[in-house]
Structure 1
Amino acid sequence: MSCKFKVDIVPIVRIPNDERIQRLSAVFGEQFQRNPSFYVRVPGRVNIIGEHIDYCGYPVLPMALEQDIIIATGITDAAEINIRNVDSKYDEVNIEMYKINEIELEPDATGKPFWYNYVICGIKGALEYLKVSSNNILELNGLQMLVEGNIPPASGLSSSSALVSAACLSFLYAQNATLTKTEIASLCANCERYIGTQGGGMDQAIAFLAEKYSAQYITFNPLSASPVSLPEDASFVVAHSLAELNKAATNDFNRRVIECRLAAKIISVLESVSQDKKIITLSEVQNILGNSFDEMVSLVYKYLPKDLYTKEEVCSILNVTEPEMESSYLTPNTKHLTEFKLRQRALHVYEEAKRVEDFRNICKSGTMNGNGHTNGFNGSCQKNYDDTKETINILGQLMSDSHESLRKLYECSHSNLDRLVDLSKQMNIHSRLTGAGWGGCIVALCPKNETQKYIDYLIEHFYVNFCNIDKTKAKKYVFATTPNFGARILTDSNCTNNEEEV
């Protein structure tokens, strides 16, 4: 491996001497009769606020989790990729290098992607970045890859994106390629289109740009991140709803993406902003018009008054044929749709984007007065408020409002998520679904001195009484967390660029 000391590349650190790495190394030895050349660690994430707005071009506010995906990787001279999982229930896969570009990532019989498709996704994206064709693919190093992770799958905590990102980073590092954090985050976001998900890049951005002890305010076009200090007396609790949905297995996620596209296009056309067939996002419409969020909400009500729009109506407004609409704005798994909810989706996006700005400003400078404006303060909100609990409550209310919008306007909640949110309210704790929705987890903002009481309450009233789960087993589904650092490459060599311990 070549050493490149740059602060903006993924940190390369020494392999920690912990039981998890030792176990992974032992399994790798059993599988491949050798030691790994290096490890790659990519964290999961929890989005504090700003759901379903990244693909509309708006900033989000996630933080990295302690839970992660680790890939132990061996470099070989063989023109082959060998993919294994520490969990024996997952199939082994061996792929000849020259066939990777030709692989179509078909789902299983239930419509879900095979687990290893996410690994292949990352490798295909890396090959595209390296501009490797079938003619020169045999010049690359082969890989032996063993995957281990403790992010609950289909939980809304970005397990699939972490796996894609870890695979892409592993492959690039094995080929001595060096990308900046923003470059590889953008690359990995593009990788997921091989699975068919039209995401916005939040998951990959926080995976590589996260910093310990702070959330990240992530903006797009261009991609950047800035730390946001959270109240010191606040704790974030993540609770699994025990309902799972793989967003690549249905069109629910992509349907929302294209509904936002269509809403943005209609507003732009009726406001005489755009007449071409180019996709335009809701944030681009706002930027072009120079409007406030409140003004954009007014335009939504003005130009999208109906509850439901047919494909014929959308085509008429945009002055396009149905084939033109399908090719310009829809995805392969949404071309069959004939009805769209445009007003509801656009309202959520503009109002949620405003909530993100309010949340960030409160953490940065103060709280909000009765008129809905931020009171100015120098320093963090923690240092300037005697009543920290009130500040936490104001931030929490934004999270509660976010959940209501996701439940009613975006229609991506689930009865189990709503039950967890309602139980939280009984403890005077604010919470919201996090991730794409339709299952997965909630995230709650909780005063630190009430955290364990809140966790015990959810265990008793949701997991034990409602879900009939043993109390000991239930403890793995709900946990308190603090912001963690982003992706790391772990190696025993002297080629490290970061002194931080993992």
Structure 2
Amino acid sequence: MSANGTSDEVPVRGIPNNERINRLKQHFCQEFGCDPLFFVRVPGRVNLIGEHIDYCGYPVLPMALEQDILIAVAILNKPELHVRNVNNKYSNYETEIKSCEDINIKSDPNGKPFWYNYVLCGVKGALEFLNGKITNGLQLCVDGIIPPASGLSSSSALVSAACLALLYAQNVPLSKSEIASLCANCERYIGTQGGGMDQAIAFLAEKNCAQYITWSPLKATPVALPENAAFVVAHSLAEANKAATNDFNRRVIECRLAARIIATCAGAVTDNKIITLSQVQNKLDKTLREMVDLVYEYLPKDLYTKEEICDILNVNEEELEQLYLTPNTKHLTEFKLKQRALHVYEEAIRVEDFRKHCSQTVSNGNGVNGVNGNNVPNVCENGDANEIINVLGKLMSGSHESLKELYECSHDNLDRLVSMSKEINVNSRLTGAGWGGCIIALCPKEKVNKYIDLLIENFYVKHCKIDKGEASSYVFATTPNQGAEIYVNK
């Protein structure tokens, strides 16, 4: 990661002179008695469409948020980690980091991860990448303005920021794609079997556009959004922590099992390796719509028992658990395979439809043909912008309905927000893993203030019984932001 900040590297820039940086620097100095050497900034993200399909191998369409994790960093001459947070509700933490074995990631008595566990995940992943060979430790002070447990990737941003900080301190050169892939693996130390979307957009995001992210190899392609489109994020006030329950991992393994059964019934597998729903499609050389038909053919039941799955796959219960299940899903006895597979294939179709309705023109930098002078597309190629907003919005609504009915990861508050949005013809959907967190809404720019006022009055004040002033912090308009950055004195 050199200071020249080339396009394939995490950019290294001068330290901004703003109130937040100065406040974090002052807090760091109070905690550690010295100034930070550099800062790391990693944004949160909001996924426009393509939920719960990244770990199945399908493309997604997120954008980075203005809200981010900012870490002030100093380098120690001994392999230790000292962690602080500007928010005093979060406890301090210190440990040796001579090897991966020093990093012990435990949860609280209720099974919820401690906040600093996400820092430890990033550090542990970096240590593993370095084979434990480090000469310097870190002093870290964290300032996060991404609402926690909101489905906006606060945890992934913290993991990624910690990993980036340690690697930069060790002068390790990595491309954006390489570190995104590394950080995706890091978060699995917390027990979550994610797919890599959060980390990919954190590092590959560009200002003023969303990203169409594909896998194997990891690639991000800028996607233009309608010029008159505004995105509004609204918190449901129901917190969602995917590492604290088995809800998330349960969906992951149900998709694994669905893929395995489809492949087995179609005679497309010869071993017991985990296979994704996208790999099954590739093996069978079918379209997404043809895969939907195969789900109905090979997974006709609404509910499958563990015994039934063992019979279909010709394995015993111990083999099934060892091959396909995670530690927190081995106790499950019933699985919804048809519903999960239908959501994945139909959601993948919605992502492709969404992308097709947006401009894919990439500028040559001359500021013509509907793109600005910063090599970023910013308008749609065809049709009236508001008509395209309506088409894209309907795809988002379809996504929410599928997540609610087929993937069963919505929440009453999320559904209420989506329903209220429809009352003024604004389309929205849950974003993130679900079970709480936020919705993302798409509406014309001229409608944003009216829409936000409606949610504040009808949801936050009337339904949630909170003060209007406090309510305004839970709903905000946002635009696509830049990916991860490093700030140093220049």
SS of equivalent to 2:242:
coil
CA contact (8 A) 1:365 1:381 kept: no
After TM superposition, the structure 1 = structure 2 runs for residues 186-225 of structure 1, keeping only pairs within 5 Å, are: 186-225=181-220
The corresponding residue for 1:55 is: 55
- Alignment match, 1:430: 427
Give the counterpart of 1:299 among 290, 294, 300. Answer: 294
State the secondary structure of the residue aligned to 1:55: helix
- Counterpart AA for 1:247: K
* Corresponding position of 1:120: 120
1:151-193 Cα offsets, whole Å, 9 max, x none, are 0000000000000000000000001111000000000000011
Structure-2 separation of matches of 1:184 and 1:140: 20
**Are residue 333 (structure 1) and residue 335 (structure 2) matched?**
no
CA distance in 1, matches of 2:188, 2:2: 31
Q: d(CA) in 2 for partners of 1:425 and 1:111?
A: 37
Give the Cα–Cα distance (whole angstroms) in 2 for the partners of residues 222 and 267 of structure 1.
25
Q: Deviations over 1:239-259 (max 9, x none)?
A: 000001210000000000000
Q: Post-superposition shift, 1:97?
A: 2.2
**C-alpha distance in structure 1 between counterparts of 2:360 and 2:197, whole Å:** 24
- Partner residue, 2:342: 347
Deviation at 1:420, TM superposition (A): 0.1
Pairing partner for 2:309 from 308, 314, 324? 314
Letter in structure 1 aligned against 2:176:
K
Mapped to 2, the partners of 1:80 and 1:384 lie a distance apart of 53
Does structure 1 residue 491 correspond to structure 2 residue 457? no
Taking the aligned partners of 1:102 and 1:27, their CA distance within structure 2 comes to 27
Instruction: Spell out the pairing of 1:8-157 with structure 2 (5 A cutoff).
Output: 8-98=8-98, 100-132=100-132, 137=133, 139-157=134-152
Quote the offset at 1:391 in angstroms: 1.2
Residue-pair matches, total: 478
Q: Kindly indicate whether the alpha-carbon contact (under 8 Å) linking 2:83 and 2:92 is maintained by their aligned counterparts in 1.
A: yes
For residue 200 of structure 1, give the secondary structure of its aligned residue in structure 2: coil
Residues 5 and 421 of structure 1, relative CA distance in 2, 3 Å threshold:
closer
In structure 2, do the counterparts of structure 1 residues 312 and 215 end up closer, same or farther at CA, with 3 Å as the change threshold? same
Q: Which residue among 161, 164, 180 is the counterpart of 2:159?
A: 164
Preserved CA contact (<8 Å) 2:224 2:360: no
SS at match of 2:152: coil
Check the 8 A contact 1:39/1:72 in 2, yes or no. yes
Kindly indicate whether the alpha-carbon contact (under 8 Å) linking 1:126 and 1:172 is maintained by their aligned counterparts in 2. yes
Alpha-carbon distance in structure 1 between the residues aligned to 2:64 and 2:159:
16
Deviating above 4 A after TM superposition, structure 1's stretches of 4 or more consecutive aligned residues are 1-5, 377-386
- Displacement of 1:98 after TM fit? 2.4
1:155, 1:439 within 8 Å by CA — same for their partners in 2?
Answer: yes
SS of corresponding position for 2:121: helix
1:117-145: CA deviation from partner (whole Å, max 9, x where unpaired)? 1001000000111112xxxx5x5111100
| Aligned twin of 1:243 | 238
Which secondary structure does the structure 1 equivalent of 2:232 belong to?
Answer: strand
1:374 corresponding residue in structure 2: none
Counterpart code for 2:400: H
Cross-structure match for 1:184: 179
Please state if 1:406 is matched with 2:398: no
TM-score, normalised by the number of residues in structure 1: 0.93
Return the alpha-carbon distance in structure 1 between the equivalents of residues 468 and 416 of structure 2.
18
Q: Which amino acid aligns with 1:333?
A: N
One-letter code aligned to 1:233: N
Which consecutive unaligned segments of at least 5 residues does structure 2 have? 362-368, 372-376
Measure, in 1, the Cα distance between the counterparts of 2:447 and 2:311. Answer: 55
Task: Tell me which residue corresponds to 1:373.
Answer: none
| Alpha-carbon distance between aligned partners in 2 of 1:173 and 1:42, rounded to the nearest angstrom | 14
In 1, Cα distance between equivalents of 2:119 and 2:309: 38
Q: Distance in 2 between matches of 1:229 and 1:98?
A: 45
AA partner of residue 361 (structure 1): K
* Local SS of the residue matching 2:472: helix
Q: Counterpart of 1:422 in structure 2: which amino acid?
A: S
Q: Distance in 2 between matches of 1:408 and 1:257?
A: 17
Work out whether residues 209 and 480 of structure 2, in 8 Å CA contact, stay in contact via their aligned partners in 1. yes
Contact residue 362 and residue 381 of structure 1 kept, 8 A: no
List gaps (5 residues or longer) in structure 1.
Answer: 367-376, 494-502
Corresponding residue number in structure 2 for 1:283: 278
Whole-Å separation in 2 of the counterparts to 1:481 and 1:382: 17
For 1:309 and 1:53, locate their aligned partners in 2 and report how far apart those are by CA, in whole Å.
Answer: 21
Question: In 1, Cα distance between the equivalents of 2:98 and 2:76?
Answer: 15
Structure 2: how far apart are the matches of 1:423 and 1:122?
39
Where 1:115 maps in the other structure, the secondary structure is coil
Deviations 1:198-251 (A, max 9, x none): 000000000000000000000011100000000010100000000012100000
TM-score calculated relative to the size of structure 2: 0.95
Measure how far apart 1:365 and its partner are: 6.9
* Cα separation, 1, equivalents of 2:216 and 2:150: 28
Task: Identify which range, 446-455 or 90-99, moves more after superposition.
Answer: 90-99
Per-residue CA deviation, residues 389-439 of structure 1 (Å, 9 max, x unaligned), is 221101000000000000000000000000000000001000000000000
Q: Pick from 251, 255, 272 the counterpart of residue 256 of structure 1.
A: 251
Aligned-residue Cα RMSD (Å) equals 1.7
Q: Match of 1:369?
A: none
User: Aligned with 2:233: secondary structure?
Assistant: strand
Question: Does the CA-based 8 Å contact 1:463-1:471 persist in structure 2?
Answer: yes
Contact 1:365-1:378 within 8 A present in 2 as well? no
Report the Cα distance in structure 1 between the residues aligned to 2:99 and 2:379, rounded to whole angstroms: 55
Change (3 A) 1:16 1:382: closer
